Structure 1
Amino acid sequence: MTAFSIVLLAMIAAFLGMRLYSVLGKRTGHEQEPVLPRRDERAAASPAPVRLDEGEAPAGLPAAGASGTGLVYEPAAEAGLRQLLAADRHFDAGRFMEGAEAAYRMILEAFWAGDRDTLRDLCDDDSYEGFVEAIEARTARGETLDNRLIGIDSAKITAVELSRREARITVRYQADISAVTRDAEGKMIAGSMSDAAQADDLWTFRRQIGSSDPNWLLDEAEAA
Structure 2
Amino acid sequence: MTVEIVLLAMVALFVGLRLYAVLGQRTGHEQRPVTRPEAAAAPEPAAVANDVSSERKEPSGLVYEEDAAAGIRAIIAADPSFDVGRFLEGAQEAYRMTLEAFWKGERDELRYLASPDVYASFEESIAERETAGHRLDNRLIAIERTLIEDARLNGRTAEIAVRFDADIAAVTRDKDGEVVGGTLTDAIETHDVWTFRRTLGSNDPNWLLVETDAAD
Structure-2-length-normalised TM-score: 0.74
Query: CA RMSD, aligned part only?
Result: 2.5
Matched, 1:156 2:160: no
Matched, 1:131 2:122: yes
Give the equivalent residue in structure 2 for 1:199.
190
Give the equivalent residue in structure 1 for 2:55.
51
Q: CA deviation at 1:65?
A: 3.5
Q: Any conservation in 2 of the 1:49–1:81 contact (CA below 8 Å)?
A: no
Letter aligned with residue 75 of structure 1: E
Within a 5 Å distance, the mapping from 1:147-186 to structure 2 comes to: 147-186=138-177
In 2, distance between residues paired with 1:214 and 1:49?
Answer: 27
Number of equivalent positions: 172
In 2, distance between residues paired with 1:49 and 1:121?
Answer: 34
Q: Any conservation in 2 of the 1:174–1:198 contact (CA below 8 Å)?
A: yes
Structure-1-length-normalised TM-score: 0.71
Please list every run of 5 or more consecutive structure 2 residues that lacks an aligned counterpart in the other structure: 1-25, 31-45
Q: CA deviation at 1:50?
A: 3.2
Higher relative strand content: 2
Matched, 1:188 2:179: yes
Q: CA deviation at 1:52?
A: 2.2
In 1, distance between residues paired with 2:200 and 2:53?
Answer: 19
Letter aligned with residue 169 of structure 2: S
Listed one character per residue, the Cα deviations across residues 56-77 of structure 1 (whole Å, up to 9, x for unaligned) are xxxxxxxx036x9xx8111111
SS at match of 2:192: strand
Give the equivalent residue in structure 2 for 1:112.
103
Match of 2:91 among 94, 100, 106: 100
Letter aligned with residue 52 of structure 2: A
Larger RCO, structures 1/2 (Cα 8 Å, 6+ apart) = 2
In structure 2, do the counterparts of structure 1 residues 74 and 191 end up closer, same or farther at CA, with 3 Å as the change threshold? Answer: same
In 1, distance between residues paired with 2:111 and 2:63?
Answer: 28
Listed one character per residue, the Cα deviations across residues 7-60 of structure 1 (whole Å, up to 9, x for unaligned) are xxxxxxxxxxxxxxxxxxxxxxxxx99x7xxxxxx9xxx85343224xxxxxxx
Letter aligned with residue 123 of structure 1: A
Give the equivalent residue in structure 2 for 1:65.
59
Listed one character per residue, the Cα deviations across residues 166-206 of structure 1 (whole Å, up to 9, x for unaligned) are 11000000000000011122111111110000010000000
Larger Rg: 1
Q: Any runs of at least 4 consecutive aligned residues in structure 1 with deviations exceeding 3 A, and if so which?
A: 46-50
Please list every run of 5 or more consecutive structure 1 residues that lacks an aligned counterpart in the other structure: 1-31, 36-41, 54-63
In 1, distance between residues paired with 2:210 and 2:106?
Answer: 18
Calculate percent identity across the aligned residue pairs: 50
In structure 2, do the counterparts of structure 1 residues 129 and 142 end up closer, same or farther at CA, with 3 Å as the change threshold? Answer: same
